[in-house]
Structure 1
Amino acid sequence: MQTILSRVLKNSTFITSIISILLGILVGAIMMIMAGYDPILAYNALFASALLQPYDLGETIRTITPLILIGLAVALAFRTGLFNIGVEGQVIVGQLVAVIIGLKLGLPPVLHAVVAIIGGGLAGALWAAVPGLLKAIRGVHEVIVSIMMNFIALNLSNVLIRRWLAQGTDSTPEIPESASIQMDFLSQLFGGARVHVGIFIALVAAFIMYYLLWKTKLGYELRAVGYNPLASEYAGMSVKRNILLSMMISGSFAGIAGAAELLGTSGYQSIQATFTGIGFDGIAVALLGANTPIGVILASILFGVLTYGGGNMQFEAGVPFEVIRVVFAAIILFVAANISGPLVNLFSKRRRDKHRARHLD
């Protein structure tokens, strides 16, 4: 039994994530107590408001949807040895292309939405191809280029909205119903919430990532290049091609996230003074989910519940939403610190001591 438990602790990042979540929540509770709030009341309001009513559950699912896709984008890049910190910009261009297709193309229902989703994914892939290409050909670090691409995406989107798409306002007109991915059935099921087809797209994307990386030759090459580019090149793999493909596939997930969020929730794109931050949340989701599809889904559920419930927590318990951001940060800090390591070492040491004592006897 001890051997099995030791192996579980040593080999599973699930334990690390669970302990990190609990410690993050504990840090948030300590902060609330220090500020004069009741943590039990606050957390009860948070989880109850996010999960117990049909409308709130639907809105929580809507919040989870882009987190899954963006988390997959970051996780896929991580798995292949790249750091795609440009997902925020890829989300923006995905939204931009989706709204352009929605407004400028007159297509039948369903087909219109499908073309807009595909267009958003292609836009994200091409946007991510720039840092991927520079990394592959010139060796320029993808973090630097992708950060710059975020700012280009933000300002390019604002310029196009102001000078071309908007009609004297700070936002585009609302897309026609033919391009929307909202479903009356889902909305009625969740009490009028804005839950949309994007959640199914996100789950399919998680399966695609799993199948691609672990069940195909291309996925093996992508992971191999990430682990050791020199050995992969010696084995006959094209390192440059795989770096570019990895960034483009990652960017396509982010672009689809932006397109789905626009087509399923707001229906229009506004001029943004700054980044939404959702792209950067994807980095935290991927880290907490250990860069695996199922882990990303579970981490997205946690972050979605905390994000939506945290907003209601302000009204019901009077606790500022910034406390939830501290919880996020603490969770990621504990994950990065690999706090399960000392537990594994302690358990292994005790097991060795007992074994040594039996041997001496």
Structure 2
Amino acid sequence: MASGVGEGEVVSNKQVIFKDYVVGFPTESHMYITTSSVSLKLPQGSDGVLVKNLYLSCDPYMRIRMRKMEPSPFSSAPYASFAPGSPLIGYGVAKVLDSGHPDFKKGDLVWGITRWEEYSLITKPESLFKINHTDVPLSYYTGILGMPGMTAYAGFYKVCSPKKGEYVFVSAASGAVGQLVGQFAKLMGCYVVGSAGSKEKVDLLKNKLGFDDAFNYKEEPDLAAALKRCFPEGIDIYFENVGGKMLDAVLLNMRLHGRIAVCGMISQYNLDQPEGVGNLMTIIYKRVQITGFSVVDYYPEYSKFLDLVLPHIREGKITYIEDIANGLESSPAALIGLFTGRNVGKQVVAVARE
């Protein structure tokens, strides 16, 4: 807690407010900064958790929540629309200031769903994970040790069932999830190629993250031909982050009994009419398995995930690239930058120091 702030004191609380539903590409003007007030003591009888937010995670799926969607039995909470006039909601790292929940106490560090503001009252603390390992950067719990890391782990190991020597392709490969999938694949002894949107990111994939090859999809007039060049024998596993034209090109290059884990489709999030995919018959011809998944289904395996990943981080076998913006005021630009490829690595907003 900041020096001079007393327990139970009412303090100002800077917030990032969602202005209104978005059509097309989002802009910074779809959000605004305001200041409210908050008590640093929970009301009597509350079973919630009051936290000071330290880091906020900028994630592509948040664009889905910026559009107006009718409630549906097929949609889950992580994809429900944001409420205009309220703070954005997303993953973050925080410090517990007060708790009415038996699983959390004052001083605990946690990661999970919070709001884009300095202080948040978490009314559903079951969405929080206690941070027990602090010998790694706390910001990692927005990425490699948080939701993106679990997404890479679940999609690659659980959905794709990889085998040593297989051919793996990762789109949006320098992003929060893709950079980990590629490194997991290399640790398994697979051949890995990634696509990204700039020369800087391609160089990063090949020279720092250990990918066998990479290409800039913006410079390829024929994506199917680019994939054929990189995978003359075809693709066994495709980790899908992009959708649209990339998915269409990948289908033509899949090997027999190939597997595709569908994590996201960022190329489609800002389109009023999503692009069609024309090569679907390939799924039949090559017996391709396409599986969509949501990371929330795999959170029960979080401790198992940590047992796998933490040793790799400590031994320097996994590199993680972060792009950290400083201050809550920087968060609208940081989030919008995801959709123009401005960030290099996992986009994080540092709200405050512990």
Give your verdict on TM over 0.5. no
TM-score of Structure 1 vs Structure 2, range by shorter chain: under 0.3
- Higher relative CO (Cα under 8 Å, sequence separation at least 6) belongs to 1
TM-score (norm 2): 0.27
**Greater C-alpha Rg:** 1
Judging by fraction of residues, say which structure has more strand.
2
